[in-house]
Amino acid sequence: MKQRILIIAMLLLALALLLSGCTKGKETLYIFNWSDYIDPSIIIEFEEANNCRIKYSTFDSNENMLTKVKSTTESFDLIFPSGDHVSILKELDLLEELDKTKLENYKNLDPVLLSKAASFDPENKFSIPYAWGLTGLMYNKEYVPEEIVASGGWNILADSFFDGKNKITMLDDAREVIGAALIYSGYSINDTSEAAMAAAHEVLKVWDRNITQFDSDSYKNEVPDGTTWLAQAYNGDALQQMAENENLGFILPKEGAAMWMDNIVMLKSSKTKDLAYKFIDFMLDAEIAKRNAEYTQYATPNAAALELLDEAFVDNAQINPPAEYLQKCYMIEYLGDQVRSIDQIYESIKLN
Ligand code: N2P
């Protein structure tokens, strides 16, 4: 009997030691961001400076992010949704209202971009602008002759040069795909009127003859290796690849492009809010935001970082296009239930 009590006592002691060991372990911050959207050295630097761990996971579309977050609301502390999805997450009551007094570097953000962000997050209460960009077409010059892209418009996607070749991909994102067809047809990306939807649907039926898949990640490898010749692409992702491979090109179509702003939000359920604030503030530091923009090749909403970036970055029209071009671009806005008309067309095109 005595021996049994001793064994139980020893087991309890072992359990207690194990548990205390866990709690004494490094604090962990769970981050969920788009793929290829941060300089990895910044993550390591933050971990070292704060004696913590970052568990970093990635997604390739807002839709996938939302599905994952809804099914496991307690798994992440910080997420990087696009503007329309900030509104969606807020409606679902998942977001923490941010205490800006904990963000010393908040002042670095450009007030003009903060006011744009107020369109999806009034008074900028729940989100911190992280990066913004545009969606265009990336191609491999080894396979796509210059005269094919010379028209410079979205309808390159219908060029008979691609007939039967199965070499074009578009993003796996309803707003981006239908958005491109809307812009090409002369409508706003946020127009869900019957006329706009009918026009976009007709255009997409034609483009779809050349489209092999809707995928938001694979083009980054497949355009360079020739599996895909032309792809709807995010500008920064294309520019990252172009820096390594001179056969690659990218155009912002002449009719205009989708524009988006991605943001950092904190989940209400986060258990490491202090650490999460520290991470946001770290990302808002001018020097860190500059390095991150250089690595990711995306435009930064951080005015202090923009001051530090060299001319080649600031004047790159594929990162920071001139005002006349931006006038033809549409920020993807939150549409509430009206987004269903867009989703329906997208699904019917994908099923064909
Ligand atoms: C980064 C993707 C950019 C985000 N790889 C599109 N909103």
**What whole-number percentage of the chain has pLDDT above 70?**
93
Q: What is the mean pLDDT of residues 129-152?
A: 97
| pLDDT value at residue 23 | 46
Q: How confident is the model at residue 7 (pLDDT cuts 50, 70, 90)?
A: low
| pLDDT value at residue 11 | 53
* Cβ–Cβ under 8 Å, residues 198 and 342: no
Residue 252 above 50 pLDDT? Answer: yes
* Phi, psi dihedrals of residue 139, rounded to the nearest 5°: -145, 165
Q: Which of 254, 237, 253 is nearest to 245 (CA)?
A: 237
**What whole-number percentage of the chain has pLDDT above 90?**
91
The residue whose C-alpha atom lies closest to atom 4 belonging to ligand 1 is 34
Residue 132 in contact with ligand 1 by CB distance below 6 A: no
Residue 237 in contact with ligand 1 by CB distance below 6 A: yes
The residue whose C-alpha atom lies closest to atom 6 belonging to ligand 1 is 234
Query: 34 CA distance to ligand 1 centroid (A)?
Result: 6
| pLDDT value at residue 17 | 45
| pLDDT value at residue 200 | 98
> What tens digit of pLDDT does each residue of 31-60 get?
999 999 999 999 999 999 999 999 999 999
Q: How confident is the model at residue 333 (pLDDT cuts 50, 70, 90)?
A: very high
Q: Which residue has the tokens 């979205």?
A: 154
Q: How confident is the model at residue 14 (pLDDT cuts 50, 70, 90)?
A: low
Pocket test of ligand 1: the residue of 85, 86, 172, 237 to mutate, having most ligand atoms within 8 Å of its CB, is: 237
Amino acid code (one letter) for 270: S
> What tens digit of pLDDT does each residue of 149-200 get?
999 999 999 999 999 999 999 999 999 999 999 999 999 999 999 999 999 9
Lowest-confidence segment of 16-25, 74-83, 218-227 by average pLDDT:
16-25
Residue 334 in contact with ligand 1 by CB distance below 6 A: no
Mean pLDDT of the chain: 94
Residue 191 in contact with ligand 1 by CB distance below 6 A: no
Handedness of CA 119, 120, 126, 130 (dihedral sign): negative
Q: Which residues contact 298 (CB under 8 A, 6 or more apart)?
A: 37, 131, 132, 133, 235, 236, 319
How far apart are the C-alpha atoms of 331 and 118, rounded to whole Å?
Answer: 12
| pLDDT value at residue 49 | 97
Q: What is the mean pLDDT of residues 313-331?
A: 96
| pLDDT value at residue 152 | 97
> What tens digit of pLDDT does each residue of 207-231 get?
999 999 999 999 999 999 999 999 9
* Cβ–Cβ under 8 Å, residues 118 and 124: yes
Q: What is the mean pLDDT of residues 254-260?
A: 97
Compute how many other C-beta atoms are within 10 angstroms of the C-beta atom of residue 286: 18
Pocket test of ligand 1: the residue of 39, 134, 215, 262 to mutate, having most ligand atoms within 8 Å of its CB, is: 262
